[in-house]
A and B are shown apart, each in its own frame.
Chain A
Amino acid sequence: MGNGSLARSGERPRGLALEDLREQLRLRGVPLLRADDLSRPHEEAAPLDRSPLRDLPPGTLGEIVGPWSSGKTSLALAEVARLTRRGERAAVVDATGCIFPPALALLGARLERILILDAGATAERATWAAEQVLRSGVFALTVLIEPGRLPGSALRRLQLAAERAGSRGLVVRRWPNAEALASLRLRVEPLPPRERPGSVFAAPPRRCRLQIGSRGAAGAAPARWAEVALS
């Protein structure tokens, strides 16, 4: 806005005008980010030893968004495992048909307390199933894995179902939704392993970095990235 008016004035070179603008914003304490800050790996990501999913309050919907193999599913399943170890029940609505229960067991989950719904590749069915589970209110956490592109109305239905039953829902997917409906949104990106392997057989643990956002934070400065070790 200001940039446009300065450019039209033609009284000062564009570079100087931008410098002025930056200086004014700096004086007012507005954080400045470069355009590629959001996509470039942040080398100074702070380590995070506690999953932010633990803070997802009852009656809310969370969202984990990230590219394939970023660790987003592992993050969600780790929370599922933690809850079942505490004796609670969780549900996994799988739209990929690929969920592998032994991986859950390796995370320490009690499989007999996890309801798995193979919803097929239909986003509509997967959303319907997740809504039913959320609405029942008998599962501590309902994870919807890779439902594909969802309309805002579907997310809204899930949100309402969670609110009504006081249950917690988590949508794990590749593409973020334009509408920020989720109470907690985690953006996940993969990181290469930090440790070099001591063995040629055993792969070292993976890492990912998280950016934690929330509803109502639109327009605010993006949160800093945090680094998480994956199980």
Chain B
Amino acid sequence: MTSPAGERSPPTRWAFVWPGEEPSARALAALAEALMSLSPVVCLAPDGVWVEIGGSVGLLGGNGGERAVAEHTRTVAELLQAVHGGNPFLEKGVSPARLGRVPSWGLRPLRSRWSLPPGSQPGVTLTGNTEKTCEKSLEEGFGEEPFSRKVPPRERTASGVRVVVADWPITARLMARAVEAPLLVVAPGRDAKALASLPLEALGASPGAVAYLKQLGVRVAGALAALSPSAVRRRLGREGEDLVRLARAEPAPTPERFTPPEQPTACRELEPPLPPGESLLFVVKGLLDELSIRLAGRGLAVSELRVTLSYEGGIERVEELLLPRPLTTAPPLLAVLRERLVNPMIPPDVARRDEEDVTLPPPRLTCAEVAVVRTARAPRAQLSLLHRQEIVAEQIAELLARLAATLGRERVFAGELVPSHVPEESWRRAELTLSETDDGFVRSDSAHAHAHAHDTEGEVGAAALSPRPSLVFPEPLPLEGDLNPGHEVRWSGGAGVITHVWGPERLRGRWWAAPFDRDYFVVDLEGGGRIWVVQERRSSGLRVQGVFD
């Protein structure tokens, strides 16, 4: 990448996102976390967030060439999409395929934390033919520059968020604070020129230094850059030298990288307190939106959640939710929480108090907090044209989470065979396969796996082909009667006269630990019923293990 002046420009490009008003440290951290989807290098400033967007370009396409330019264009587009909640390319009808995959989400939930004016809409609208702009950007060798010409001035946009892209982070930040434009792109190698017109105050100079320099006739950064750093240092000390280097856009230390919290938390204080009701879900949804966006920036999904609801009178309700599948988006998380929160909407101890004294109004919600207790890598499916696999996997994950929340996690499973003769140990509960692996080739035919499972112990090869009833009781039921044709047998679930008995299928083993020595019989009854009977050879008692239904 070479600047018009022929100088080698730095390999990094920094975007500074300035929310417009003084945001809280928590809101900035949330923004930084979400912007990690664009670049792994995100840094926090007291008034905004830096995103290094040049490194990814170098990684994906090198520092030159058409692909790098296209990638850079895409990154800037995504940044705009993220901070403004809209995508200028998509608004103009440009195919996403032309620009690569553009995420469809914005940071609207986070924008509310910046106290933007209500009803503010995506602030960037490109004028003219955007496709031509893209082509032009390819010709000019750098994709971001044409944006700065096309973006309308601030008066024509509702959002106060500003984004400035420059070579150096400090340049980007200074320009964002000083220039009223939703997007400003400083061309590569032109940081010093961009800063030249800024007043000294914009560089962060102290009032004393500004007054002194103005006495010398230095009023803008460009004039300051022309001075010798050592000469200014002799007069203004270290501050003077730093100001000159800043005005010259000389390399400065990279800001410290932002490290997101291990367990992100979103909290909302409610003033006035919220009466109990389904409106609670609106509050929780906002928190889930924020958390899912922040985690998506790091490629993470939610595995375990804790929701803490604080009511008037110091009453607290904590709901912990262990998800069978990591979830990445807010709607399925909300669907799961709805099962827990809506019924009952009031915590049990509060409900009891209401029963005691119906004249007391129910306590109101004062604070809601959602904490991600555990995260997991977001499930990724191979990209397909229609993304159907991702959609189905997400639908199944949501369904499993809701079922587990109501039935219990241990009651939602898929079976998995275990190489063991003992019926109760011949399978275990496993997770359902979410990914599509069907290619016409059956990789793990369960029947074969079952046969193999029996073969591995090498004890009873024929057991693999032995019939097994579809219903097996967790605890066998005692059977009264003899196993002889013509005899009547009776158990707690039924009775019948035996017509045929097949067996025994003898299972014996594990003499060194927990020995078992059993005979299994298949017993036909009059009328066509068939049961599976087990006899412990030591006790000789008969029990019904299962029913062929």
Contact = CB atoms under 8 A, between A and B. Distances in A.
Contacts of A203: 467, 500, 502, 522, 524, 530
Contacts of B529: 67-70, 190
B547 A68 contact: yes
Given A98-B472, A197-B500, A110 B446 contact: yes
Contacts of A118: 407, 410-413
Interface in B505-531: 505, 522, 524-525, 527-531
Contacts of A24: none
Contacts of B500: 193, 197, 203
Given A102-B423, A106-B447, A138 B522 contact: no
23 contacts: A70-B529, A70-B549, A89-B432, A98-B471, A99-B470, A100-B468, A100-B469, A102-B427, A103-B472, A112-B444, A112-B446, A116-B414, A118-B413, A125-B406, A125-B407, A132-B402, A133-B403, A189-B528, A192-B528, A201-B505, A202-B502, A203-B522, A208-B528
Contacts of A116: 412-415
A68 B494 contact: yes
A200 B535 CA distance: 17
Given A110-B445, A189-B528, A115 B412 contact: yes
Chain A to chain B: the 3 pairs with minimum beta-carbon distance, closest first = A190-B528, A101-B415, A87-B438
Interface stretch (A15-23, A43-51, A71-79, A154-162): A71-79
B471 A112 contact: no
A8 B442 CA distance: 71
B245 interface: no
A31 to B, nearest CB: 27
B415 A114 contact: yes
Contacts of A226: none
B446 A104 contact: yes
A32 to B, nearest CB: 27
A116 to B, nearest CB: 6
B470 A74 contact: yes
A112 B416 contact: yes
B372 to A, nearest CB: 25
Interface string B458-472: 000010001111111
Given A99-B471, A191-B528, 8 more contacts: A69-B528, A73-B471, A112-B416, A114-B414, A115-B414, A118-B410, A138-B399, A203-B530
Interface in A107-144: 107-120, 125, 128-129, 132-133, 136-138
B499 interface: yes
A108 B396 contact: no
Contacts of B472: 98, 100, 103
A128 B469 contact: no
Contact of A102 (B417, B499, B505): B417
B259 to A, nearest CB: 38
A151 interface: no
Interface band, chain A: 35 or more
B407 A73 contact: no
B506 to A, nearest CB: 10
A69 to B, nearest CB: 4
A129 B427 contact: no
A144 B399 CA distance: 17
Given A111-B414, A114-B415, A138-B395, A206 B470 contact: no
B144 to A, nearest CB: 42
Interface string B433-459: 100001010101111011000000000
A149 interface: no
Interface of A: 67-74, 77, 85, 87, 89, 96-120, 125, 128-129, 132-133, 136-138, 189-193, 197, 199-203, 206-208
A115 B396 CA distance: 10
B396 A138 contact: yes
A31 B44 CA distance: 86
A158 B402 CA distance: 18
Contacts of A137: 395
A118 B404 CA distance: 10
Contact of A192 (B445, B468, B499): B499
Contacts of A70: 528-529, 549
B392 interface: yes
Contact of A98 (B525, B528, B546): B546
A197 B503 CA distance: 12
Contacts of A97: 474
A199 B466 CA distance: 13
Contact of B470 (A87, A103, A125): A103
Contact of B432 (A73, A100, A112): A112
A98 B411 contact: no
Contacts of A129: 403, 406-407
A101 B528 contact: no
Contacts of B522: 203
A136 B391 CA distance: 12
Contacts of A98: 471-474, 546-547
B412 A117 contact: yes
A191 B500 CA distance: 14
A58 to B, nearest CB: 16
Contact of A201 (B449, B450, B494, B502): B502
Contacts of B411: 117-120
Contacts of B503: 200-201
Contacts of A85: 442
Contacts of B494: 68
Given A98-B472, A108-B447, A109-B446, A136 B549 contact: no
Contact of A110 (B392, B407, B442, B525): B442
B258 interface: no
Contact of B399 (A104, A125, A132): A132
A72 B494 CA distance: 17
B430 interface: yes
A115 to B, nearest CB: 5
Contacts of A111: 414-417, 427, 430, 446
A68 B466 CA distance: 21
A128 to B, nearest CB: 7
Contact of A101 (B399, B427, B442, B502): B427
Contact of B502 (A67, A71, A117, A200): A200
